[in-house]
Amino acid sequence: MDATPTPFSALLRAASHEQHTQVAGSAFMGDLLGGRLGVDAYRQYTEQLWFVYRALETTPGHLAEDPVAGPFIRLDLARTEELERDLTHLGGPHWRSGLEPLPATAEYADRVAECVRDWPAGLVAHHYTRYMGDLSGGQIVRGMAEKTWGFDRKGDGVRFYVFESIPNPASFKRDYRALLDALPVDDLEKQRMVDECKHAYALNTAILGNLSRRFPLSA
């Protein structure tokens, strides 16, 4: 009797575990979560996220009907406007003035935009990497920021981490994993998605490395 195949969502999570650990254990995130960096470091981190999410959420209308990417394009996950509210709070109304992506951020945003344009399954890989992290470990960042810098609970400065339209994150994540398991792609495409997920983590780690050089407390 054949063994039950491992769900794709489980394969994706297991395959990217090492990269996820590297992100969580980076010097910059360690110093940020440990309260050893000032609010300016948090602001600059948030600025870099804005470039990535702007690329991720600038999706052509036809993708909503795409059989692979369409089910994942959801307004209740959208973060760009929340990032902009946070950045207005952190940097004032002219926070965009002179703002440039770090080299690693530009590479990350360009890769996301390429997937948005040319490869729906690749977009899903980046989508999974970002939003599932936001709903899980991102809540640790929110709690740290509220405690360290006195932001109102779930208020301006941490709205990026607040998903008001998702009252039950655990249930949402179960449904999300079910969508991954039901993706209409073959095994070769699934492997490409796993590789892209690992690439996404590597790109994110590179951003943290760039920021660590700006804030070299643990260097």
Buried b (16+ CB within 10 A) or exposed e, 138-174: beebbebbbebeebeeeeebbbbbbbeebeeeeebbe
User: What tokens does 37 get?
Assistant: 């960096």
Cα–Cα distance for residue pair 127/131, rounded to 1 Å: 6
Report the alpha-carbon angle 61-64-68, nearest 5: 130
153 is in an annotated binding site: no
36 is in an annotated binding site: no
Q: What is the DSSP letter of 37?
A: S
201 is in an annotated binding site: no
Cα–Cα distance for residue pair 39/54, rounded to 1 Å: 22
45 is in an annotated binding site: no
Please give the annotated binding residues, written as ranges. 13, 20, 128, 177
Please give the annotated binding residues for heme b, written as ranges. 13, 20, 128, 177
